Chain A
Amino acid sequence: MIPIEYFLALSGILFVIGALGVLTKKNAIVVLMSVEVMLNAANINFVAFSAFYGSLNGAIFALVSIAIAAAEVAVGLAIIMNLYKTRDTISLNKINLLRW
């Protein structure tokens, strides 16, 4: 039987990989993918606790979270497409529209 620490460790490692991607990458699509990795790390936690402690609420919440992530990535990709059309770049260094 797999102890729950393995799932939590996998989730933590995935979260750190995603956070590193968000912090260091310049390509907007790669940053969006890293955000997805972080969201899925949280989903692994939900499903692990749900499967270990016999409550289905965590699994349902993970499903809702996946749906919200799909909505987010749809809007994010549309924004990136629009940026590429209007500014000819998706490099986050060159996009300063919302920067203070």
Chain B
Amino acid sequence: MPVSGWIMMVVVLGGVWGGFAFLLAKSVRRRER
């Protein structure tokens, strides 16, 4: 896989999975309050 593929993989997976994890954590924190 070319370098551009690796970069895109990190950006997309980081953005989507990271975003989902962040939002889930925020939802859980709100639930606990």
A binds B: no
A residues near B, CB below 8 A?
none
